[in-house]
Chains A and B, each alone.
Chain A
């Protein structure tokens, strides 16, 4: 999810100076730090962490309780199956040298190997065609 920024404008420079990402917008953060124009009546016009801590808005829990027991109502919602799956990401192989990179590049860019693999798959598929194509032929 990486996009190189196409322009380096005054706006991007000012964002970069302010700690935002003016040059690239890789990943999920995007321009999350950008200020909204939130001069609206509901938002109070600022949504930065510091402003929330110092500005004195009511914390959600107390306000929710006073607004009709929303927290209690939301607590009734079934929460089954909410736990995220246990993650065991595959480990990165250690960074190899230039020779290993060239070997990998040669291995993956080999058109002859691609042709051989496709021919083998073609022969393999044709051998089992009756069983494999049954769902699609009907």
Chain B
């Protein structure tokens, strides 16, 4: 009895004193910590919720794009359906896709079995977009330089699919046909180039070399110092080498926009190969003014340094001979300027600032 009284009295004393407030504070602190942990876990769940793709309440429903209608429109307009001729003829086809039909078909037949371009069946058993729609949409973006969702109403594809199609098609083309067409000339081609330039009074010349800029719309501000040119535009530099027929024999894309032509050339693979003695071949001789040489050369503009494989105009022509030479050198050296003009007019994607986030994607495109 005495013990119980003592215990009760101790509890009463405990509650009677201010210690009760201390206990309550401890309990409150513990509860607040638990609530904070719970809030953090809930916030984490919410932040991850966007990754979840599925039928959830409140999620925006799919647009009822009629894929079959888009495919039917493509076939009806350019390929013909049911034995009927296509609505648009060859001239329209080449004007809209910027490539002949045979080239388009070749690209389509090559890419249609790629995993992304294959036609799929979704979970409900419905057929999804046909590869032809994706290829047509990608060609539209590249040919006209239009936004990815511009062709949605025609090919019936979403902006994401069109953008992905464009990206993957460009990567596929570069991977598949880059080694075939973007290479150094072989011996026969080199002989023809030199023979043709000999007729144009430039024996030993194997092409024209120059650079141009491509503006980069999505350049991050933090990289502006590297990619901003002297004209206060952010972009990358494209160095190209071509012959009279505008066949591209060398292309370097992606140099920093702040670099001038000399710096771009110094980091170009072409320059490294020429300096290493691996290119061009010295087995073809040519004679100029009674002197025979073996090292071919490229025509460049006045900014390039005086290297023996680069021929630039006279910096300050004073005599009639020098003025005559400058006139002819600049006329022939405009081959590469023509190349840039033709590329930009044909594929108007290059006319507009690049919208990609990464330089690698700009390079691929």
Please list the residues of chain A having a beta carbon within 8 angstroms of any beta carbon in chain B: 1-3, 5-6, 21, 25, 27-32, 36-49, 51-52, 57-60, 63-64, 66-68, 70, 73-74, 76-82, 84-85, 87-90, 92-93, 96, 100-101, 103-105, 107-111, 113-118, 120-126, 128-129, 132-133, 136
Contacts and interface: CB of A to CB of B under 8 A. Distances in A.
Interface residues of B, number: 103
Contact of B306 (A76, A101, A114): A114
Interface in B221-259: 223, 226, 251-255
Contact of B187 (A1, A90, A107, A136): A90
Q: Secondary structure of the B side of the interface? A: mixed
B161 interface: yes
A92 B281 CA distance: 9
Given A68-B72, A81-B102, A25 B269 contact: no
Contacts of B142: none
Interface stretch (B6-14, B20-28, B321-329): B321-329
Contacts of B364: 28, 30
A41 B109 CA distance: 24
Nearest to B309: A108
Contacts of B150: none
Contacts of A41: 62, 65, 122, 128, 158
Given A25-B359, A60-B112, A2 B254 contact: yes
B118 A52 contact: yes
11 contacts: A28-B178, A38-B116, A42-B157, A58-B119, A59-B118, A63-B119, A90-B187, A101-B275, A108-B275, A121-B325, A123-B321
Given A1-B252, A64-B119, A114-B310, A84 B288 contact: no
Contacts of B309: 108
Nearest to A131: B201
Given A41-B122, A73-B80, A77-B101, A101 B53 contact: no
Interface stretch (B35-43, B167-175, B207-215, B341-349): B167-175
Contacts of B180: 84-85, 87
A101 B277 contact: yes
B175 A28 contact: yes
Contacts of A29: 171, 174-175
A109 B271 CA distance: 11
Nearest to A77: B105
Interface string B108-137: 110011111111111000011111100000
Contacts, number: 271
Contact of A42 (B102, B129, B175, B186): B129
Nearest to A137: B327
Contacts of A88: 186-188
B185 A90 contact: yes
A70 B132 contact: yes
A137 B109 CA distance: 48
